[in-house]
Structure 1
Amino acid sequence: MPKKLPHFGLVILVTAAFACAGNIIDRIVATVNGHIILESDWDEAVSYEAFVNRRPLDHLTLGDRKAALDRLIDQELIRQQIHARDFQHPSATDIDHRVAEIRMQHAAAADDLAWKAALELYGFSESELREKVAAELDEMRMVDAHLRPSVQVDTPSVEAYYREKLLPELRASGAKEVPLVDVAPKIKELLAQQKMNDLLITWLRSLRAESNIHTAFESSTTGGGGLE
């Protein structure tokens, strides 16, 4: 009896068959519980991360590209768990603010023509950048909606951070000390974000273990088959 092909291997063969037929199609680089991630999705993610972090595309390594695909898989796992109605989508103002932050990090920010040229160098138009920013903000809000209700930061934790970390840093830098009451809300949010980061790592590990993930770098059909 012929050996049964793994699902992802079958997808690759089908893709190759279409390519041989003379059609130009997107290559499938991963599947996440049946959802397909295309090479164009991957390329866009790599370019967006490089642009935001001001990294030249020709300096990226295979490891960088694999890490970007890994994050795409994580994003899809999260999307499959959270319905769009469970969080508030970013407004046009939210997107404007994030785009402005990104632009300020680039030397071309002051010149519209140079800014447009920088975007084109990474394969984006202004509208396409806004779409990527909106998706990024959506993901952040999805995670926040899922994890924040389980995060609690008490007053002693805020006071300990102020006393043991913030004040020593201010004194070491020669900066003026600030009263606890003025910075307590920011400290509380910082500690909440740290807790959510820890919870997110644990949550994603659990989702990967329970999911059917295949990538172009491996054809294992076991759960948690993301990039190593």
Structure 2
Amino acid sequence: MRVFLVSLLMVNAAGLLASQEIVDRIAARVENDIILLSDIRVLSRYQRFLDGKSETDAHILDRLIDQWMVRTEADVSRFPHPSDAEIDGALERLRKSFSSAEQYEVSRKQSGLSDSQVRGMLASQLYLSNYLDSRFRPAVQVDPPAIEDFYRNTFVPQAKAGGQEPPSLDAAHDLIQEALVQRGINEQSEKWLRESRTRLHIDILLEGGSK
């Protein structure tokens, strides 16, 4: 009887491993770490939850590799993780971005995400974005002509296109300045990520992924 049970467990384990290999497999190796197909699936569901659609697996994998680079550097520098209050605030803002609390729950359930997964994604987003902000914000300079140009050529046309009367330049100054700072942070982050990739050993195993 004992031999039969051991054999049964071995067969079941082999079956589980075989099915897991089909459902989940290594999508990429980055240095000594791995990114799994399940990681891509979770981010894909999160994108559908937010936007109603998701990127291709290859694009999502690129994002996960970028996240790995940022997270690794943040961890090495012992950058502080977001507090529960910060995560609560981000979750509240996310809920308010939906038409109602009911719509939020419907969309979340349709995407297949649990409450803890949504909270975990928000915590990760905050950690990575806070680190990039801390690293690159001091180097971003926004001068008055850039603010005036953005106001005249972007801010005002967008407001009018939405049927709104644009506020004065003085009233919109701080908002525009922060938008331009964020754009500068994004540009410097993208440049840093491109340069960092050239120094990493990355092995893409996902079919259709970029090498």
TM-score under structure 1 normalisation?
0.71
Deviations 1:24-64, CA, capped at 9 Å, x for gaps: 24421111111111222221111111111123xxxx6xx61
Say which SS state the counterpart of residue 27 (structure 2) adopts.
strand
Q: Aligned partners of 1:64, 1:110: CA distance in 2, in Å?
A: 29
How far 1:151 sits from its partner (Å)?
A: 0.9
CA distance in structure 2 between the partners assigned to 1:188 and 1:116 by the alignment: 35
**1:4: which partner in 2?**
none
Counterpart in the other structure of 1:5: none
Note the C-alpha offset of 1:84.
6.6
Write the distance in 2 (CA, Å) between the matches of 1:127 and 1:173: 36
2:84 aligned partner, one-letter code = A
The partner residue of 1:99 within 65, 68, 91 is: 91
In 2, distance between residues paired with 1:40 and 1:147? 31
Change (3 A) 1:96 1:155: same
Q: Which residue of 2 aligns with 1:146?
A: 135
Q: Give the 3-state SS of the residue equivalent to 1:210 in structure 2.
A: coil
Deviation at 1:163? Answer: 3.8
Unpaired runs of 5+ in structure 2? Answer: 1-11
The offset of 1:74, in angstroms, is 0.8
- Secondary structure of 1:37's counterpart equals strand
Residue 67 of structure 2 corresponds to residue 75 of structure 1 = yes
- CA deviation after TM superposition for structure 1 residue 133, in Å: 1.0
Letter in 1 for 2:72: Q
Task: Report % sequence identity.
Answer: 32
More off after superposition, 83-92 vs 183-192: 83-92
Change in Cα spacing, 1:135 to 1:171, as seen in structure 2 (3 Å) is closer
> For 2:29, what is the secondary structure of its paired residue?
strand
Deviation for aligned residue 1:123:
2.4
Equivalent position of 1:158 in the other structure:
147
- Say which SS state the counterpart of residue 94 (structure 2) adopts: helix
Which has the larger helix fraction?
2
Q: Letter of the aligned partner of 2:192 in structure 1?
A: W
Change (3 A) 1:177 1:104: closer
Aligned to 2:47: 49
Tell me if structure 2 keeps the 8 A contact 1:162–1:180: yes
Cα distance change on mapping 1:180 and 1:70 into 2, 3 Å: same
Calculate the aligned-residue CA RMSD, in Å.
3.0
Residues 116-148 of structure 1: per-residue CA shift (max 9 Å, x gap):
454333222212211111111111112112211
- Secondary structure of the 1:30 match is strand
Q: For the residues of structure 1 that align with 2:117 and 2:28, how far apart are their CA atoms?
A: 23
Q: Deviations over 1:77-112 (max 9, x none)?
A: 1112223755443333332333233334445x333x
State the SS of the aligned residue for 1:217: coil
Give the secondary structure class of the aligned counterpart of 1:144. Answer: helix
Distance 1:175 1:103, change over 3 A: closer
Pick from 108, 111, 116: which aligns with 1:119? 108
**In 2: Cα distance, 1:120 partner to 1:164 partner:** 41
Q: In the aligned structure 2, how far is the partner of 1:29 from the partner of 1:86?
A: 28
Q: Which is bigger in relative contact order (C-alpha 8 A, separation at least 6)?
A: 2
